[in-house]
């Protein structure tokens, strides 16, 4: 068993996702956009528009998946109040991949068979490499949350990609923290963390930084004390953990417990409230996190947070505003093109420029379907125990947040 924020939140939040799932499955006969596509997934002929949201709804990362589903559900509620898409109400269909490629493939195939008009997600790149082609083969245009470049052009995304994250991380380490020596600990089992660690190492070395240690770990261990001890022994200025939040939290905890003098920085994959819970408040405060702005850090974020909290009796997750924006943009594309024809949607989305959502302005790069520029920032834990944009970092690098 792996642990983290997900284990503490599952009883409260999974009930919400379960209720959404029950409602969705009860209406399996519904869903057509009037698309010209002959795909069984894209032309189910029902009374509602069925939009799947794939993510880790159960398992160690369930807090992420539940937040994704809830964000899309909130957006669907707002859209439905205005008439839905092309006069049909939107139905959110949770697709649970449990952050596992095999589970994801089974869940994606089942969802396609049941009938979908669109899909948002998945979150994990290793899962997306397997499931995104399934959706595309079914005539769908995914709005993904994957970060690894191997998923470029597999639909579209509003969140940052690995090639956009590494330069921000490198600049932060050198310009803001003044690092000359860096030790990198990375998850060797995930596509994203492997590629990010490789890119970050190359960027830092190009900037004249010495990589004192480059250590691979496997996720799911109870402790990473030895790896932290070994990294600290190389006298780095920074220890950078390119891992997901359960491991990132444990590494941050060891850095504090061992009284390591190196600055602690954890990667984008640890940008989750679960990082704070796993690390403990003191260790989390001792560590910077590369990630995206907290929901309330965006210009219209406070309104979104208030609406989300009222709807679900809990604060939104890191990716909740991203799935909300993903659904809203997909709905606009389908409304403008008259349905869910993949070719028409692709043409519309490729041309998106300065579209405004909760997460700010969105412009799509038609070469890869990615958002440019990306919303990558350095975060720190505030007095309320929440991750927010680090103002010192923003000032040092001239960031707008």
- HSE at residue 280, side-chain half, CA atoms within 13 A, is 10
Between CA 31 and CA 58 the distance in angstroms is 25
CA of residue 209 relative to chain centroid, distance: 29
Residue given tokens 């990306």 in the structure block: 374
The span from the CA of 109 to the CA of 325, in Å, is 25
Specify whether 137 is located in the same domain as 283. Answer: no
Strands 377-381 and 287-291: antiparallel
Angstrom distance (rounded) from CA 323 to CA 79: 14
**Total structural domains in the chain?**
2
| Whether residue 93 is found in the same domain as residue 136 | yes
Question: At 285, which CATH number?
Answer: 3.40.50.2300
Per-residue pLDDT of the chain (401 residues; tens, 9 = 90+): 233 333 333 333 433 444 344 333 333 333 333 333 344 454 445 789 999 999 999 998 898 999 999 999 999 999 999 999 999 999 999 999 999 999 999 999 999 999 999 999 999 999 999 999 999 999 999 999 999 999 999 999 999 999 999 999 999 999 999 999 999 999 999 889 999 999 999 999 999 999 999 999 999 999 999 999 999 999 999 999 999 999 999 999 999 999 999 999 999 999 988 899 999 999 999 999 999 999 999 999 999 999 999 999 999 999 999 999 999 999 999 999 999 999 999 999 999 999 999 999 999 999 999 999 899 999 999 999 999 999 999 999 888 77
Q: Which residue, among 159, 232, 173, 177, has the nearest Cα to 203 in the 3D structure?
A: 173
Same domain, 33 and 83: yes
For residues 150 and 264, state if they share a domain.
no
State the residue range of the domain holding 68. 5-160+298-368
By the 8 A CB rule, do 182 and 214 touch? no
Distance CA 59, CA 329 (A): 29
Closest of 4, 139, 111, 122 to residue 72, by C-alpha: 122
Same domain, 279 and 383: yes
Does residue 273 share a domain with residue 144?
no
46, 30 in Cβ contact below 8 A? Answer: yes
SS3 74: helix
Closest CA to 167 of 390, 374, 400: 374
- 3-state class (DSSP) for residue 383: coil
Same domain, 363 and 383: no
Q: Quick one: 302 and 287 in the same domain?
A: no
- pTM for the whole thing? 0.83
SS3 272: coil
Both 194 and 129 in one domain: the answer is no
CA–CA distance, 7 with 380 (Å, rounded to integer): 23
Nearest Cα residue to 43 out of 328, 338, 337, 340: 340
- Do 384 and 240 lie in one domain? The reply is yes
CA gap 216, 230 in Å, rounded: 12
Q: What Å distances lie between residue 32 and 106, 266, 292, 338, 369, CA to CA?
A: 23, 43, 34, 12, 25
Q: Do 151 and 91 share a domain, yes or no? A: yes
Q: What is the distance, to the nearest Å, from the Cα of residue 271 to the centroid of all Cα atoms in its chain?
A: 9
Cβ atoms of 122 and 340 within 8 Å: the answer is: no
Query: Strand 263-266 to strand 143-144: parallel, antiparallel, or no bridges (unpaired)?
Result: unpaired
Same domain for 312 and 393, yes or no, is: no
CB count within 10 Å of CB 305 equals 19
Judge contact between 41 and 112, C-beta under 8 A: yes
């Amino acid at each position: 068993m792996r642990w983290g924020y997900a284990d503490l939140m599952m009883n409260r939040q999974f009930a919400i996702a379960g209720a959404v799932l029950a409602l969705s499955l009860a209406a399996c006969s519904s869903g057509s956009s009037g698309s010209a596509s002959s795909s069984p997934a894209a032309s189910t002929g029902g009374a509602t528009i069925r939009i799947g949201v794939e993510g880790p709804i159960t398992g160690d990362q369930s807090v992420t998946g539940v937040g994704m589903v809830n964000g899309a559900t909130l957006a669907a509620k707002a859209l439905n109040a205005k008439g839905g898409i092309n006069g049909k109400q939107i139905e959110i269909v949770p697709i649970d991949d449990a952050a596992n490629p095999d589970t994801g493939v089974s869940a994606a195939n089942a969802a396609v068979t049941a009938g979908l008009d669109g899909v948002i997600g998945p979150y994990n790149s290793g899962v997306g490499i397997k499931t995104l082609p399934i959706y595309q083969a079914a005539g769908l245009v995914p709005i993904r949350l994957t970060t690894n470049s191997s998923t470029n052009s597999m639909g579209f995304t509003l969140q940052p990609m690995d090639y956009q994250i590494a330069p921000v991380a490198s600049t932060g380490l050198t310009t803001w923290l003044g690092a000359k020596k860096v030790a990198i600990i990375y998850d060797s089992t995930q596509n994203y963390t492997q590629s990010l660690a490789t890119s970050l190492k190359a960027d830092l070395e190009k900037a004249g930084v010495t990589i004192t240690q480059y250590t691979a770990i496997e996720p799911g261990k109870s402790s990473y004390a030895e790896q932290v001890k070994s990294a600290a022994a190389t006298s780095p200025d920074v220890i950078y953990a390119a891992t997901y939040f359960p491991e990132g939290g444990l590494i941050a905890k060891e850095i504090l417990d061992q009284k390591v003098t190196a600055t602690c920085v954890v990667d984008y994959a640890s940008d989750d409230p679960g990082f704070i819970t796993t690390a403990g408040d003191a260790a989390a405060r001792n560590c910077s996190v590369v990630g995206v702005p907290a929901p309330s850090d965006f210009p219209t974020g406070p309104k979104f947070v208030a609406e989300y909290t009222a709807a679900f009796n809990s604060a939104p997750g890191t990716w909740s505003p991203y799935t909300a924006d993903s659904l809203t943009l997909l709905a606009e594309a389908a409304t403008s093109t008259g349905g869910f024809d993949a070719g028409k949607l692709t043409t519309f989305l490729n041309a998106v420029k300065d579209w405004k959502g909760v997460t700010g302005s969105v412009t799509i790069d038609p070469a890869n379907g990615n958002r440019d520029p990306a919303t990558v920032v350095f975060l720190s834990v505030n007095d309320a125990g929440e991750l927010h944009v680090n103002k010192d970092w923003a000032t040092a690098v001239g960031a707008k947040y």
